[in-house]
Amino acid sequence: MTLMDLARHVDEFLGKSTDTVKSSETGIAGLYVHRQTRPNAFEATVYHPVICLNLQGRKEVAHGERRVISGAGESLIVSHDLPVAARVIEASSERPYLAIIVAVDIAILRSLYEEVGEAALNERQAQALTASATDTALFDALARYFALTSDPVEAKVMAPLILKEIHFRMLTASHGGMLRQLMWRDSHASRISRAIGRIQSDYRSPLAVAALADEAGMSPSSFHEHFKQITGTTPLQYQKDMRLMEARRLIAMDGLSVSSAAYAVGYESATQFSREYSRKFGSPPRNELLRPDLTAERRSL
């Protein structure tokens, strides 16, 4: 199957729609498809561990001080939960931005440890978010995984096998270096991943960075260095981003008042919350409305 063929099939799967943005689960484990018909401004969001195969159009992601652009035929690999700003920079009604997204399963990655071996762990400059041309084997596996949407019986048998192959292909891809480090439970990548999980599970409470570093088995300075290298930000800023993202969801989707959302995510001052919210999102929280064209992508990545 060619890139053009796969783009057409994904477009047909999503169906006719007047929505600027449409994302959909496919019924296949961890597989989503996405379409956007016009460019947009940078939108602050959190990317979860995924591989995103760009089928048509172009996308730009700002992660820390880095800017990553992916075009048709390239894939973006994300190894950790990362606060980013993203935008589609090339899309139209005639040629929309189209993408296939597959969630990364850390358990599957680690099940491949014996086959891949420790030699893969020696990369020192791996990035938590990176894009590169998708090699033929990885593209073929992703295309076959999407093809399962048309045959539920085949999907039941083949989905686990192809999903495991996709993870193997990601591990051997040129831009899969950080995933290779995650295979090793005691790597810096894995320690920071666990620290991220701790922050996410209790982001409302005050953050004790020294205690978090101790749990990770690292000195505070080493922890701070590796945390920022992977996430593009500091632990305290990461927690703030999680609070603001959740507050935005509470206001836009659950209808909470500004002050209620602020206190719900751990702020003691609604004024401080509004100030930091405006700085991150470019407008005060009272202006936040339910915007399906943007929330769709937040659910996918």
Between CA 185 and CA 118 the distance in angstroms is 12
**DSSP H or E segment with residue 133:** strand 129-133
98 and 47 fall within a common domain: yes
Are 278 and 200 in the same domain? no
Domain count across the chain: 3
Rg of the chain over Cα atoms, rounded to whole angstroms, equals: 20
Sheet holding 43-47, edge to edge: 43-47, 82-90, 58-63, 66-70
- Shared domain check, 269 and 145: no
162 and 83 in a common domain = yes
| Calpha distance 101→298 (Å, rounded) | 12
- Say what the pLDDT of residue 38 is: 97
Q: Are residues 117 and 173 in the same domain?
A: yes
Is the CA virtual torsion 70, 21, 81, 149 positive or negative? negative
87 and 116 in a common domain = yes
- Mark whether 115 and 256 lie in a shared domain: no
Question: Partners of 36 in the beta sheet?
Answer: 21, 97
Q: Which pLDDT belongs to residue 184?
A: 85
Q: For the whole prediction, is pTM greater than 0.85?
A: yes
Do 18 and 148 lie in a common domain? yes
pLDDT above 80: residue 151: yes
Distances (CA, A) of 59 to 102, 174, 275: 17, 20, 29
* Residue 246 reports pLDDT greater than 70: yes
User: What is the pLDDT, as a whole number, of residue 301?
Assistant: 54
Mark whether 31 and 168 lie in a shared domain. Answer: yes
CATH number of the domain where residue 177 is located: 2.60.120.10
Query: Dihedrals φ, ψ of 53, to 5°?
Result: -90, 115
Predicted local distance difference test score (pLDDT) of residue 300: 44
Cα–Cα distance measured from residue 256 to residue 254, given in angstroms and rounded to the nearest whole number: 6
Rounded (5°) CA angle 205-208-209 = 130
Closest CA to 252 of 281, 217, 216, 227: 281
Do residues 26 and 137 both lie within one domain? yes
Query: pLDDT tens for residues 167-212?
Result: 999 999 999 999 999 988 889 999 999 999 999 999 999 999 999 9
φ and ψ at 60, to 5 degrees? -125, 135
31 and 170 part of one domain? yes
Domain boundary among 182, 210, 228: 182
CA distance 83 to 221: 21
Residue 120 has pLDDT above 60, yes or no: no
Whether the pLDDT of residue 119 is over 90: the answer is no
Residue type, 42: F
Domain with residue 210: its CATH number is: 1.10.10.60
Asked if residue 192 and residue 144 are part of one domain, the reply reads no
Which residue in 246, 206, 193 sits closest to 79, CA to CA? Answer: 193
Domain that holds residue 44: 3-182
For 114, the 3-state DSSP assignment is helix
- Nearest in space to 280 (alpha carbons), one of 26, 141, 126, 84: 84
